[in-house]
Amino acid sequence: MLGWGVVCVGMGFVKNVNQLYACRLLIGFFEAGLIPCINAYFGMVYLRSEMSKRSATMYGFSAFAGAVGGLLASAVSNVTAGGLPSWSWLFIIEGIITIACVPVVYLVFPKDVRTAWFFNSQEREVMRLRFEQNPHLCIEEKFSWAKVASAFKDPKLYLHAVLEFSVSLSLFSFMTFLPAIIRGLGYTRVHAQLLTVPVYVWATASYLMIAFGSDKVGLRSPFMFGACLALVIGYTMNIASEALGVRLAAVFVLGTGVYASVSNEES
């Protein structure tokens, strides 16, 4: 989080394409470590049958952040303080917010949930018994490079990498180009940013419903298949039709599946 926030602030001050590429690579480097760490943290606390709802919370906030980001982008669209263009201030503000959250996360999140400061004695005892009955939660497992190396011998790792790449490509393409897609429907830049808000709100709501349904029935694959099908339908609608109504509806169809496909695959 700290590395991501610092680089995000730095992106507001880039002067040439080389600096932009360097910052973008660093953003990807730090972000690549963040999501697996969050999922590993969940995996040390929650059972597999409980993971989808917890991942839904994380990715739900990610989708909701898209809505807030759209509002923020439209709010700073005319800000040129300090001689910087408005897009620079968007990076600077979001980077500062991230950096400010770092000490909060570090101090609030317990290193061992069994001794969490916000639990009372009875809740700590429940957590202790929970870990005794579910040793696969692996909170006592020690890190070793040998175990890291053993993962590269597992063919499932490479299958998962292909799957992760495929669903993440849809997610980040959607997040990156959504304002451009809406602008292509004839809206101004500011209006396009504002119109991303209902899309992300719908994405958040639909994703939470899918995730809770997945945990309720104890299955992942049918829900992931449905989410991926929504992606196929949404992108097909966008490509095949020139009608503005159809193309606007397509981004809502995409929002239905884009976060659910990633989260169900990871949980």
Displacement of CA 220 from its chain's centroid (Å) = 18
**Distances, alpha carbon 77 to alpha carbons 23, 74, 80, 128, 150, in Å:** 22, 5, 8, 51, 49
Low-confidence residues of the chain: pLDDT under 70: 138-139, 263-267
What pLDDT, in 10s, does the model give residues 196-224?
A: 888 888 888 888 888 778 878 877 788 88
pLDDT confidence of residue 103: 95
pLDDT confidence of residue 112: 82
**Segments forming the whole domain that contains residue 27:** 2-266
Cα–Cα distance for residue pair 195/106, rounded to 1 Å: 35
pLDDT confidence of residue 179: 82
* Three-class HEC string of 35-90: HHHHHHHHHCCCCHHHHHHHHHHHHHHHHHHHHHHHHHHHHCCCCCHHHCCHHHHH
pLDDT confidence of residue 192: 80
Cβ atoms 44, 35 nearer than 8 A: no
Tally of domains within the chain: 1
Cα–Cα distance for residue pair 207/250, rounded to 1 Å: 16
Tell me if the pTM is above 0.75: no
pLDDT confidence of residue 185: 78
